[in-house]
């Protein structure tokens, strides 16, 4: 494992950034919510697995044994990341595919008229699977309301829970505006009503530590490409819940350990090797104990310096959010601002919904807005460049 760095020092930050070839030419990436840059060691681990472990599970020769080791190491790493047992981990091609598969699997137990509650702030990857399941099984999907500041309305959640509620599904952090939900409180309320708590942690997992036992989640999903890893989906499923589910899969496939029974087809072992290298990278820079305060400093620096002509949608401070911001510059179309920033070697996106179809029309912008997302490899100097560019956009 790489030498552990002191995260607060400028030297340590520079040494961490030096491990990313993509960060060496001066382009400032503020598009982390759509996917982060990847350190070179992750790519090297993927390439090494392709060279040395191109096989499948179950054979007696060396490459198959290496594949087995890669899978077991990835399961152990994911369990440590999420605070669960390795047998409760399932890997997939991405979070969306896993969510469709697992929601459909859970839905085998549901009856017509049963209800699913979903947050109006959620990315559609956490919504569409339930809408499709409801259509096919004659279920009822109910949307949870938000306060004007984009926080979840817990009184509305309480009023909509009933003995017909089977799942409360929600995003722990909004991929559009960065607002964080009190996941422990939602899970407790869901369980008190006899429902499952089902968490989309894709955006949250990039910025905050996770302990599924502490929040008492039943299912939680995330994606390593949001925190400097390869394109994968990871799901945690509580043993007491998933052991009674009958998976959709090819019949000869392994049914043990528990988490593997929900994987469909051959796993991308090279990407699992890259995922393990991602976790080693994060450990080497101090883990979330270093990442969280540093990213919050960047967010506070950004908000404090913004000119008046820049509107921030959602929460106006770093309290209750991760460092993801949705903004517009007065009098300038979002796409135009994004183009001007790109010309200055600053990467942001302009979009209308940000895949949060229940949220964006509540925010008040007419067509599009600019999403800005910080991650731990960004620097204070880059934030200052960004603010100056927004202030001069015309």
Domains present along the chain, CATH in parentheses: 10-30+287-392 (3.90.1150.10), 45-281 (3.40.640.10)
Closest CA to 321 of 152, 155, 118, 83: 152
Whether the pLDDT of residue 122 is over 50: the answer is: yes
Res 3: pLDDT: 44
Percentage of residues of the chain with pLDDT beyond 70 = 96
Res 177: pLDDT: 97
Determine the average pLDDT of the residues in 146-165: 97
pLDDT tens across 125-142, in order? Answer: 999 999 999 999 999 999
Question: For the chain, what is the mean pLDDT?
Answer: 94
Res 15: pLDDT: 76
pLDDT tens across 256-296, in order? Answer: 899 999 998 899 999 999 999 999 999 999 999 999 999 99
Rounded distance, CA 67 to CA 252, Å? 19
Strand partners, 92: 233
Distance set, CA 261 to CA 30, 55, 243, 264, 384 (Å): 38, 20, 10, 8, 49
Res 6: pLDDT: 46
Res 11: pLDDT: 52
The strand pair at 233-237 and 219-222 is best described as antiparallel
CB 367 within 8 A of CB 352: yes
pLDDT tens across 168-216, in order? Answer: 999 999 999 999 999 999 999 999 999 999 999 999 999 999 999 999 9
Which strands form 349-351's sheet, in the order they lie side by side? 310-313, 324-329, 369-373, 349-351
Whether the pLDDT of residue 255 is over 90: the answer is: no
Which DSSP letter does residue 145 get?
P
- The answer to whether the peptide bond before residue 257 is cis (omega within 30 degrees of 0) is yes
Determine the average pLDDT of the residues in 319-343: 97
Secondary structure (3-state) at 167? strand
Candidate from 107-116, 162-171, 216-225, 242-251 with smallest mean pLDDT: 242-251
Whether the pLDDT of residue 4 is over 70: the answer is: no
> 110 pLDDT band (50/70/90 cuts)?
very high
Determine the average pLDDT of the residues in 354-367: 93
**pTM for this model (two decimals):** 0.95
What torsion do the CA atoms of 184, 228, 224, 313 make, to the nearest 10 degrees?
A: 50
Q: What would the two tokens of residue 202 be?
A: 């894709």
pLDDT tens across 19-51, in order? Answer: 999 999 999 999 999 999 999 999 999 999 999
Strand partners, 327: 312, 370
Whether the pLDDT of residue 13 is over 90: the answer is: no
Determine the average pLDDT of the residues in 214-229: 98
Determine the average pLDDT of the residues in 358-375: 94
The H-assigned helical ranges of 262-354 are 269-284, 287-305, 334-343
């Amino acid at each position: 494992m790489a030498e552990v760095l002191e995260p607060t020092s400028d030297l340590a930050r520079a040494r961490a950034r030096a491990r990313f070839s993509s960060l060496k030419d001066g382009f400032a990436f503020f598009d982390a919510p759509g996917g982060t840059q990847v350190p070179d060691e992750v790519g090297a681990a993927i390439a090494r697995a392709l060279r040395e472990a191109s096989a499948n599970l179950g054979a007696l020769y060396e490459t198959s044994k290496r594949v087995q080791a890669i899978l077991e190491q990835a399961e152990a790493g994911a369990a440590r990341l999420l605070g669960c047992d390795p047998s409760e981990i399932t890997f997939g091609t991405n979070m969306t595919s896993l969510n469709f598969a697992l929601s459909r699997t859970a839905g085998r137990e549901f009856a017509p008229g049963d209800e699913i509650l979903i947050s109006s702030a959620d990315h559609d990857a956490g919504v569409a699977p339930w809408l499709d399941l409801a259509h096919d099984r004659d279920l009822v999907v109910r949307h949870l309301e938000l306060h004007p500041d984009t926080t979840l309305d817990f009184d509305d959640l309480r009023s909509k829970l009933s003995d017909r509620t089977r799942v409360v599904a929600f995003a722990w952090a909004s991929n559009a505006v960065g607002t964080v939900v009190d996941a422990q409180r939602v899970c407790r309320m869901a369980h008190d009503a006899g429902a499952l708590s089902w968490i989309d942690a894709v955006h949250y997992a990039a910025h905050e530590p996770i302990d599924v036992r502490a929040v008492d989640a039943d299912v939680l999903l995330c994606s390593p490409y949001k925190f400097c890893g390869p394109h994968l989906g990871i799901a945690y499923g509580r043993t007491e819940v998933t052991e009674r589910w009958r998976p959709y899969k090819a019949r000869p496939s392994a049914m043990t350990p528990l988490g593997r029974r929900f994987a469909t087809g051959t796993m991308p072992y090279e990407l699992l090797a890259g995922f393990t290298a991602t976790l080693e990278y994060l450990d080497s820079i101090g883990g979330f104990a270093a990442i969280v305060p540093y990213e919050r400093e960047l967010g506070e620096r950004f908000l404090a310096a913004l000119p008046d002509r820049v509107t921030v949608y959602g929460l106006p401070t770093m309290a209750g959010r991760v460092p993801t911001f949705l903004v517009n510059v007065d009098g300038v179309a979002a796409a135009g601002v994004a183009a001007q920033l790109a010309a200055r070697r600053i990467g942001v996106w302009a979009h209308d919904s940000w895949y949060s179809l229940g949220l964006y029309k509540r925010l008040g912008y007419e067509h599009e807005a600019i999403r800005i997302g910080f991650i731990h490899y960004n620097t204070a100097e880059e934030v200052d460049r960004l603010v100056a560019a927004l202030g001069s956009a015309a």
